[in-house]
C-alpha cells in the first residue's frame, strides 16, 4: 500500500506507511492562548490514533499537552532530548511512553523506522526557558521516505542532513502576520525543495491558526502561503509534485519503488 499523508491543519499530519500510523505535532484545539482556529474543523477523534507520535520542538503549538493527553494510553511519543525537564507537564502524562531523541537517533514503530534529523529553529519552551532541547525534523522510512520538517529555516547542510526522501512535509507560513527568524516562507520552502529534491511535497504550517482580533492585519500571510508555495516550487523545483491539501484531506503521492 502506498504512503498516505493526511493534513489535519497547522503542523499536524498523519503519515500512514506499511500499515503504521505516525502522527506529527498533534494540535487538536480550537483555541491556544491568543490564537484561534480560523479554518478547518478540529481533527476528529480518529486523528489521535497513532502507533507513534513525533514532536518536533517545545513551542506550545507543536508540543501541546492537552492534545497529547487525548492519545490512547501506551502511545509512544518522541520528543527532543531534555523536553521533560523543560516542560514538566510531560511528566504528568504517565499513560504515554515518552521517548527523548536527538539528531541521528532511530526509533522503530510497527513496520517503519523513524530517524531524527536537525532543524534550524528555536527549541525553547517560550516565552521563557533555557534552550535545552534543539528542534528536530524526522524521516519516516517505510515503503516511502517521508520528511517531516517540523518548524525550520534553511540551513547549509539541509540536503545532506535529510538525505534522499520521497515526500517532504514543509512549513510554508505561520500563525501570525510576521514570520520570525528560522522559519520557511513559501519562497524559502521552495528553495528547501530544490536542496532536498524529494519526489513530492505537501505544504503545512499555514492557514489554520491566527491571533484573535488580527484578521485584517496582513491577511495574505494567512490566506496565500499554500498557493504561493505551489507557484514558487514550480519555478525553483519543477520536478517536484506539490500536493496542496485542504484540512482533513489525504493524498497518496507517487514514489519510487523501494
Distances (CA, A) of 113 to 102, 156, 176, 206: 15, 25, 34, 28
C-alpha cell at 191: 528553495
How would residue 50 be classed by pLDDT, with cut points 50, 70 and 90? very high
Q: CB within 8 A of 17, min separation 6: which ones?
A: 3, 4, 111, 112, 140, 142, 143, 144, 146
Task: State the Cα–Cα distance between residues 81 and 228, nearest whole angstrom.
Answer: 34
How would residue 256 be classed by pLDDT, with cut points 50, 70 and 90? confident
Mean predicted lDDT score pLDDT of the chain: 94
Q: CB within 8 A of 255, min separation 6: which ones?
A: 2, 3, 143, 144, 166, 167, 199, 200
Nearest to 53 by CA among 88, 1, 90, 85: 90
Q: In terms of DSSP bridges, do strands 20-24 and 12-17 run parallel, antiparallel, or are they unpaired?
A: antiparallel
pLDDT at position 208: 98
**Quick one: average pLDDT of 83-88?**
91
pTM for this model (two decimals): 0.95
* Positive or negative: CA dihedral 76, 81, 82, 87: negative
pLDDT at position 187: 97
Q: Scanning the structure block, which residue is given the C-alpha cell 484540512?
A: 247
Task: State the Cα–Cα distance between residues 254 and 244, nearest whole angstrom.
Answer: 15
**Quick one: average pLDDT of 73-82?**
97
Task: State the Cα–Cα distance between residues 212 and 217, nearest whole angstrom.
Answer: 11
Q: CB within 8 A of 236, min separation 6: which ones?
A: 190, 191, 193, 194
**Quick one: average pLDDT of 149-166?**
95
Q: Scanning the structure block, which residue is given the C-alpha cell 508555495?
A: 229
**Quick one: average pLDDT of 179-187?**
91
Kindly give the interhelix angle for 225-236 and 186-196, rounded to the nearest 10 degrees: 40
Nearest to 117 by CA among 100, 134, 104: 104
How would residue 124 be classed by pLDDT, with cut points 50, 70 and 90? confident
Amino acid at each position: 500500500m502506498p504512503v498516505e499523508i493526511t493534513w489535519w491543519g497547522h503542523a499536524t499530519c498523519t503519515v500512514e506507511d506499511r500499515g503504521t500510523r505516525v502522527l506529527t505535532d498533534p494540535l487538536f484545539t480550537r483555541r491556544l492562548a491568543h490564537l484561534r482556529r480560523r479554518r478547518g474543523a478540529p481533527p476528529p477523534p480518529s486523528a489521535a490514533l497513532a502507533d507513534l507520535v513525533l514532536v518536533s520542538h517545545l513551542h506550545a503549538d507543536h508540543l501541546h499537552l492537552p492534545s497529547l493527553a487525548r492519545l490512547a494510553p501506551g502511545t509512544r511519543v518522541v520528543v527532543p532530548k531534555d523536553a521533560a525537564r523543560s516542560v514538566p507537564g510531560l511528566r504528568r502524562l504517565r499513560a504515554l511512553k515518552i521517548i527523548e531523541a536527538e539528531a541521528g537517533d532511530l526509533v522503530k514503530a510497527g513496520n517503519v523506522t523513524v530517524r531524527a534529523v536537525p532543524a534550524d529553529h528555536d527549541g525553547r519552551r517560550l516565552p521563557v526557558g533555557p534552550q535545552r532541547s534543539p528542534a528536530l525534523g524526522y524521516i519516516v522510512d517505510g515503503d516511502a521516505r517521508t520528511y517531516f520538517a517540523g518548524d525550520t529555516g534553511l540551513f547549509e547542510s539541509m540536503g545532506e542532513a535529510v538525505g534522499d526522501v520521497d515526500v517532504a512535509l514543509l512549513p510554508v507560513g505561520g500563525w501570525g502576520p510576521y514570520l520570525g527568524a528560522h522559519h520557511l516562507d513559501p519562497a524559502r520552502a521552495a528553495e528547501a525543495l530544490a536542496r532536498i529534491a524529494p519526489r513530492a511535497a505537501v505544504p503545512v504550517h499555514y492557514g489554520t491558526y491566527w491571533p484573535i482580533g488580527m484578521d485584517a492585519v496582513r491577511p495574505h500571510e494567512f490566506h496565500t502561503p499554500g498557493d504561493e508555495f505551489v507557484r514558487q516550487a514550480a519555478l525553483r523545483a519543477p520536478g517536484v509534485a506539490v500536493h496542496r491539501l485542504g484540512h482533513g484531506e489525504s493524498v497518496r503521492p507517487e514514489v519510487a519503488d523501494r
